[in-house]
């Protein structure tokens, strides 16, 4: 791997709240893939525009997959990565689904560690902040043929981020979409690919104009079973102690945060189950007060409480639109492990020593 020298690097300046995905570090990792050479030309270069052929496949048939994970500043000044091996495994599953070449997980983690180490001063030491890590693979092959690609580019960039929701740990309003769907069984919903997002942003904009912040997606076939909220997995709390989340259906993304909550929750005194959740039953349970909390889970927000759902012209408020104790407890327990404030009994973190 070549580490190119930087001309005039920007000095590290981290604002109180860096926002989400609006500022970047000075460097990025890049490599190329061709059929004859495999992955090659690994380098760390200045963060900046990527030059590509106007006929690059990614621009015409959307061959692009990505990941999202974070680096956290520990109290001792070193840096933690959280379950990055799960992200790498998922990226390789996405690659298979899109006919793209895989990247050896340990090799890829090595690139991430090297890049974060070089850019370690950009890992914020502020509450709720971290360094977002975004690996991307896309087909750079110039062709209009609709088929698997033969030339790819892989890059990794870093973005100092604040809390995902500008309003802080405040419950969001969620509109349940019955007109539009995110993914269908047999489609690409389990892959982290740009196509899954392209169809959602206009829908999100429509609900925003009606006063909602997020969209809850139902299954595409029966339009009855709950799948995901925005780009997060969703969980509900029954009677204050049982956490239930939609079972992986073939169109739900396998979230690392979801997986972590399911594993950790029993150790915090909760029971968990993965079920097919009927939207009408769930809303009836909210109305009866049997469902005491709902929240999204994902790397960006960690835990994002839902204050109310809107569906077919009716509103369903949860826990007086306040953050509930289960969401709070899970958020604290998970972030304590991520930031290295608490012991990590699960072996989920990898430390990058910079001190
Ligand atoms: C990335 C993503 C999630 C959350 O996954 P994490 O690994 O927990 O960050 C959930 N749903 C969708 C659609 C996603 O793209």
Which two structure tokens, joined as six digits, stand for 72?
């956290």
Going by CA atoms, what residue is nearest to atom 5 of ligand 1? 255
Ligand 1, residues at Cβ distance < 6 Å: 68, 192, 228, 231-233, 253, 255-258, 298-299
Residue 241 pLDDT greater than 80, yes or no: yes
CB 28, CB 47: distance < 8 Å: yes
Ligand 1 atom 14, closest CA: 231
CA–CA separation, 165 vs 128, rounded Å?
11
CA nearest ligand 1 atom 3, residue: 232
Band of pLDDT at residue 233, cut at 50, 70 and 90: very high
Instruction: Convert 47-66 to b/e letters by CB count within 10 Å (16 or more is b).
Output: beeeebeeebbbbebbbbbb
Distance 53 CA to ligand 1 centre (A): 30
Atom of ligand 1 nearest to the CA of 69: 9
- What's the confidence (pLDDT) of residue 165? 62
Band of residue 257 on the pLDDT scale cut at 50, 70, 90: very high
Measured from the Cα of 87, ligand 1's closest atom is: 7
pLDDT tens digit sequence for 323-343: 999 999 999 999 999 999 999
Strand, helix or coil for residue 343: coil
Q: What is the pLDDT of residues 127-158, one digit of tens each?
A: 899 999 999 999 999 999 999 999 999 999 99
Q: What is the pLDDT of residue 16?
A: 86
- Distance (Å) from CA 252 to ligand 1 centroid: 9
At 164, the pLDDT band (50, 70, 90 cuts) reads confident
Which ligand 1 atom minimizes the distance to the CA of 183?
Answer: 13
- Cα of 230 to ligand 1 centre, how many Å? 9
- Give ∠ CA 317-323-328 in degrees, rounded to 5: 145
Q: How far is the CA of 10 from the centre of ligand 1 (A)?
A: 31
Residue nearest to atom 12 of ligand 1 (CA): 231
pLDDT at 169: 79
Q: Residue 8 Cα, ligand 1 centroid: separation in angstroms?
A: 36
pLDDT at 163: 80
What pLDDT sits at residue 168? Answer: 62
Atom of ligand 1 at shortest distance to CA of 192? 15
String of DSSP letters for 131-145:
EEEEEEEEE--B---
């Amino acid at each position: 791997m070549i580490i190119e020298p930087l001309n005039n690097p920007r000095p590290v300046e981290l604002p109180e709240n860096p926002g989400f995905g609006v500022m970047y570090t000075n460097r990025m990792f890049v490599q190329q893939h061709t059929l004859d050479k495999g992955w090659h030309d690994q380098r760390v270069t200045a963060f900046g525009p990527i030059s590509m052929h106007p006929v690059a496949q990614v621009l015409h048939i959307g061959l692009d997959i990505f990941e999202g994970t974070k680096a956290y500043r520990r109290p001792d000044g070193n840096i933690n990565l959280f379950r990055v091996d799960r992200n790498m495994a998922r990226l390789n599953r996405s690659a298979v689904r899109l006919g793209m070449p895989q990247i050896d997980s340990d090799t890829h983690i090595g690139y991430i560690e090297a890049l974060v180490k070089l850019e370690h001063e950009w890992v914020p030491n502020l509450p709720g902040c971290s360094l977002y890590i975004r690996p991307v693979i896309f087909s750079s092959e110039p062709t209009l043929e609709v088929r698997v690609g033969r030339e790819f580019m892989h890059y990794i960039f870093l973005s100092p981020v604040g809390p995902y929701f500008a309003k802080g740990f405040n419950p969001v309003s969620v509109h349940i979409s019955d007109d539009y769907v995110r993914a269908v069984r047999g489609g690409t919903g389990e892959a982290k690919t740009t196509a899954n997002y392209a169809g959602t942003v206009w829908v999100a904009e429509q609900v925003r104009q009606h006063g909602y912040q997020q969209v809850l997606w139902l299954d595409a076939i029966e339009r009855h079973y709950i799948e995901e909220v925005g780009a997060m997995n969703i969980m509900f709390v029954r009677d204050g102690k049982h956490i239930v989340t939609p079972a992986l259906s073939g169109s739900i993304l396998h979230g690392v945060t979801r997986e972590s909550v399911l594993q950790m929750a029993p150790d915090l005194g909760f029971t968990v189950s993965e079920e097919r959740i009927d939207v009408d039953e769930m809303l009836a349970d909210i109305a009866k007060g049997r469902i005491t909390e709902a929240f999204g889970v994902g790397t960006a927000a960690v835990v994002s409480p839902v204050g109310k759902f809107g569906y077919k012209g009716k509103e369903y408020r949860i826990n007086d639109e306040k953050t509930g104790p289960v969401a709070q407890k899970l958020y604290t327990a998970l972030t304590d492990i991520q930031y290295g404030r608490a012991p990590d009994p699960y072996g989920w973190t990898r430390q990058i020593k910079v001190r």
